Amino acid sequence: MFRKQIVGLIILSAFLFAPLNVARAQTPNAGDIFLFGQNYTLSSAQTLNGSIVLIGGNITIEKDAQVNGDIVLIGGNLNIAGSVNGEIAVIGGTLSLTHKIVGDIALIGSNANLSETAIVKGNITTMGGRVDQDPKAEVDGQIVNNAPPDIEQLSEPRVDVIVNPFGEIFSVMLKALGMAIVALLLTLFLDAPIKRVGDYALAQPFVAASVGLLAIFISTLLFWTILPIFVIFCAWVLGVVAIGQEVGRRFVQAINQSWQPIFSTAFGTFLLVLVVGFAGLIPCIGWVFKFALALVGIGSVMMTRFGAHSGSAPTVVQGTPAG
């Protein structure tokens, strides 16, 4: 069931790494629509035969308007007074429904408000969110709050050793894509702190690695509390994204293109995690690449206090000789 409800995220992935000159259509019957940092409104009595992906904005489907496709919204409000024939995925936002959705709804860190006239012909799944449903609202499927992904029952341990390189390659690509989406979300709200962390990692990689090793050592000593481990994890995520931002910026410069920072950061993070992940598949020494990236990233975050400051870098003080 969970796989059906994240179909919208698959659509997002397809748009995420598509060419950045996607037509920003604003008229009905224009096909798929991808927008960043803008608001989109489908006016009353109009029909859109295509999907909508919007990052950092609001979507309004007015009364009697109709969308024949999926909707993915990251960081904004989705107001539906018309009808949608497709899947809905809202990440870090709010869904307000006063009419009808024919399809499943996935809410990740988001809330849904279903009015008394709301109709949902499908399931609603939340992860880190909630559904506020009027008693008169109609939901034909199930409402599952904070649902984990489906995991098959573990069987008895087996001694057989099966090497599946295709599975490992797919896992690396999936992780890279996941980190790219995280980078995209973080850049929406933490662009300046991410840049400070990246600048420090580039200027002082060895100092950062030393601090990162110390931070991991201290968190290991305090393993009985969850907070240090959580802080280290957050630092690792922010550090990888910050280094990925630098990778993306240099990549864009190398191909003489001009991309918006949110896209260059997402692509740079994807490329960084992909390369380091593939390097990690090298027997015996592959772990070194992942560990080095983690140390530099964590250390840079710690030295900049999660990007709040530029960090302290060694300075050379020059003076005049005595006498």
pLDDT in tens, 68-107: 988 988 778 999 999 999 999 887 789 999 999 999 998 8
Q: What is the pLDDT of residues 34-49, one digit of tens each?
A: 776 688 999 998 999 9
pLDDT for residue 315? 41
Query: Do residues 78 and 135 both lie within one domain?
Result: yes
Answer yes or no: do 138 and 7 share one domain.
yes
Tell me the average pLDDT across 202-230. 77
Residues 134 and 184 in one domain: no
For position 262, what pLDDT does the model report?
86
Q: Give the range among 114-123, 151-160, 258-267 with minimum mean pLDDT.
A: 151-160
Looking at the fold, whether 173 and 287 belong to one and the same domain comes out as yes
Beta strand spans in 51-147 (E): 52-55, 59-61, 66-67, 71-74, 77-80, 83-84, 88-91, 94-97, 100-101, 105-108, 111-114, 119-120, 124-127, 130-133, 138-139, 143-145
pLDDT at 175: 87
Query: What is the predicted pLDDT for the residue at 223?
Result: 59
Instruction: Judge if 124 and 174 occupy the same domain.
Output: no
On whether both 253 and 202 belong to a single domain, the answer is yes
**Closest CA relative to residue 177, chosen from 3, 8, 7, 9:** 9
Residue that is last in its domain, among 117, 145, 173: 145
Task: Classify residue 124: in a domain, yes or no.
Answer: yes
Query: From the CA atom positions of the chain, what is the Rg in Å?
Result: 23
Average model confidence (pLDDT) for the chain? 78
Kindly report, residue by residue over 175-208, the tens digit of the pLDDT.
888 888 988 888 888 888 898 988 888 888 888 8
Compare 17 and 268 and report the one with higher pLDDT. 268
Q: DSSP 3-state helix, strand, coil percentages of the chain (rounded to 5)?
A: 40, 20, 40
Domain total in the chain: 2
In terms of average pLDDT, the best of 59-63, 128-132, 155-159 is 59-63
Question: Per-residue pLDDT for 3 more than 50?
Answer: no
> In terms of domains, do 100 and 203 share one?
no
Residues 139 and 186 in one domain: no
What is the model's pTM? 0.47
Among candidate residues 93, 111, 145, the one where a domain is terminated: 145
Question: One-letter amino acid identity for 30?
Answer: A
Asked whether the predicted pLDDT for residue 8 surpasses 90, the reply is no
- The residue from 87, 113, 145 where one domain ends is 145
Residues 172 and 140 placed together within one structural domain of the fold: no
Highest mean pLDDT: which range of 156-160, 254-258, 261-265:
261-265
Same domain, 177 and 298: yes
Does residue 177 belong to any structural domain of this protein? Answer: yes
Is 17 in the same domain as 140? Answer: yes
The Cα–Cα gap between 88 and 205 comes to 42
Q: Is residue 309 part of a domain?
A: no
Specify if 318 maps to a domain.
no
Distance from C-alpha of 120 to C-alpha of 161, rounded to nearest angstrom: 46
Q: What are 49-58's contacts with CB under 8 Å, separation 24+?
A: 51/11, 51/86, 53/11, 53/12, 53/15, 55/184, 55/188, 55/262, 56/188, 56/262
**What was the pLDDT predicted at 164?**
53
What pLDDT was estimated at residue 115?
A: 93
pLDDT 10s digits, 124-137: 988 777 899 999 99
Domain interval for residue 264: 165-303
Q: Is residue 194 part of a domain?
A: yes
In a domain, 319, yes or no: no
70 belongs to a structural domain = yes
- List 84's β-bridge partners, or say none: 67, 101
Residue scoring higher pLDDT (172 or 150): 172
Q: If you average pLDDT over residues 207-218, what whole number do you get?
A: 84
User: Do 76 and 137 lie in a common domain?
Assistant: yes
The answer to whether residue 323 sits within a structural domain is: no
